[in-house]
A and B are shown apart, each in its own frame.
Chain A
Amino acid sequence: MTNIYKHLAIASGTMVGILGVTPALAAGTTAGSTITNTATVNYQVGGVAQTAINASNNITVDRRITLTVAEVGSATTSVAPGASAQVTTFTVTNTSNDTLDLGLTVAQLAGGTAAHGGTDNFDLTGLGAFVDTNGNGSYDAGTDLAATFLDEVAADASRTVFLVGAIPIARVNGDVAGVTLTAQARAGGGAGSQGAVIAETVGANTAGMDTVFADAAGPVAGDAARDGKASDDDDYTVSAPTLTVTKQSRVVSDPINGSTNPKLIPGAIVEYCIVVANAAGGASATSVAISDPLPAQTTFVASSSFLNGTYTGTAPTGTCNLDGASGGSVTAGTLNGTLGTIAAGTTRTLYFQVTIN
């Protein structure tokens, strides 16, 4: 390389920086910006450097609308019947090369297969969308505000949206509610108010900024490819204990026969076993409270009640094991006792004795 070459190269280097456009990341060059390409010829005639010749042209970058809605996590939200403020979380991302408002539409499935394979069979009550106002990724009642749109989402920016609703008390273990969130591209520019729905430019290219939809189809009905919408689904699955209560009794002894073939005569001691079984596959039941009004013809045997015993076999034909802990008390002719946690698939008992008057 000769000196003059070097010199020319440096001179041409000063022609950079024609554009003040800063390329965004995944979203790409900002919509509406102009790409100016300038080429320069440096040459000599008769050994004398001539004035450099420039040529340039411009193209305007159009607006490419792509956005995504994605469920956060990949599992159903496990809920208890009657629970309020149950949350599913979505991330809404604007991968367009322009700032947009994103309209939010919340819907619930009416039957059919929910996001994680279950069959939708109920709806939440009061389901609505809330924006993660404080940006901590988890729903904070009173802080994260209800919203029908996301305001001024910059290119490549994303927001967290929560769907929050209540579970009806009557739902049982295994019930599924499918929910969906759809975001639609709307014009940005006016902070605090929702812009108009963006339409794709039809027909020939215009000199100005055109709009091209490039979004993929989503799992939600009505979200086709290239329609300026994105969507995802999620679901809630009820996880509840399924409890069955059985009461069985046995004569322990009578005053005449003792414990050998005792009969139900006055003075006989009878044991009762209240068997609470929680079916497998559900949730644990906690604070299971039992109240048993004692028959008027019987008298509670002091200190004879035991809580949380185990049970062998299947009620009512199995055996109530005397391995519980002392507990329970009689108030106004009613025995009250609270069993601890009964895990799914296990059985616990309340055992007590009475004498026949």
Chain B
Amino acid sequence: MRALLFVIALLAPSLALAANNVTLSSAVFLEKTIADSSGHARIVLEEPQSVTPGDQLVFILNYRNAGNAPASDFIVTNPLPATVAYSGSRDSAQVSIDGGRSWGTLPALKVREADGRWRSAMPEDVTHVRWAFKNTIAAGAHGKLSFRGVVR
């Protein structure tokens, strides 16, 4: 009986925290260069209208800790769609070039060529992007992450 109580006691926090949830939303925008009325080129983000190969996309992830307890070991992972080539993130993202088995910054990753030589990984080698938060996300806290890609 004591053992059972112990088990219940262990489970209790997670049961209590079932209401604790994190929301995540994903949006994609098309980055376009347009000429403004004075003829200067201006970069705008717009809803994806016509999307054709070569177009620049900006993926935006909004996260929010909608629960009432802090979330720790918070990791947002985004596998790149097969038809999108990674082209960088301003947020300190880690990337993987091997389907998420290993992670690092792009310059630190190496790719083995067919002839056995190693070369530095390039953005188009990236298969996954992730953001691993050191700090806990307080209840109610929210934020935005983004990365860019090109339609292959």
Closest to B52 in A: A64
Please choose the segment from A28-36, A254-262, A270-278 that sits at the chain B interface, where 4 or more of its residues have CB less than 8 A away.
Answer: A28-36
Of A9, A12, A15, A41, the most chain B CB neighbours within 10 A belong to: A41
A5, B130: Cα distance in complex, Å = 12
A1-36 with Cβ < 8 A to chain B: 1, 4-5, 8-10, 12-13, 15-19, 21-23, 27-29, 33, 35-36
Point out the residue from A4, A45, A57 that lies within 8 Å of B67, measured CB to CB.
A45
A203-225 with Cβ < 8 A to chain B: 204-205, 210, 212, 214
Give chain B's interface residue range (CB within 8 Å of chain A): 35 or more
Residues of A participating in the B interface, judged by any CB pair closer than 8 Å: 1, 4-5, 8-10, 12-13, 15-19, 21-23, 27-29, 33, 35-50, 53-57, 59-64, 97, 201, 204-205, 210, 212, 214
* B contact residues around A13 at 8 Å (CB): 79, 96, 99-101, 128
Contact across chains for A8 and B52 when beta carbons are under 8 A apart = no
Point out the residue from B75, B81, B132 that lies within 8 Å of A18, measured CB to CB.
B81
**Is B37 part of the contact surface with A, judged by Cβ < 8 Å?**
no
Known contacts: A23-B82, A41-B22, A42-B73. The answer to whether A16 contacts B128 by CB under 8 A is yes
Contact across chains for B79 and A38 when beta carbons are under 8 A apart = yes
Contact across chains for A42 and B75 when beta carbons are under 8 A apart = yes
**Shortest beta-carbon distance from B149 to chain A in Å:** 8
**Shortest beta-carbon distance from B10 to chain A in Å:** 9
Closest to A201 in B: B50
Contact across chains for A55 and B82 when beta carbons are under 8 A apart = no
Residues of B participating in the A interface, judged by any CB pair closer than 8 Å: 13-14, 17, 20-28, 48-54, 57, 59, 61, 63, 67, 69-84, 96, 99-101, 103, 127-128, 130, 132, 137, 151-152
Top 6 A-B residue pairs of the complex, sorted by shortest distance between their CB atoms: A28-B53, A13-B100, A64-B52, A205-B49, A12-B77, A55-B26
Closest to A49 in B: B73
A61, B128: Cα distance in complex, Å = 21
Contact across chains for A19 and B83 when beta carbons are under 8 A apart = yes
A-B contact list, 28 entries, CB within 8 Å: A5-B73, A5-B132, A8-B75, A9-B96, A9-B101, A12-B130, A13-B79, A13-B96, A15-B77, A16-B99, A19-B82, A23-B152, A28-B52, A29-B83, A29-B152, A35-B51, A35-B151, A42-B75, A43-B73, A44-B73, A45-B71, A46-B14, A48-B14, A49-B73, A55-B25, A57-B26, A64-B54, A97-B53
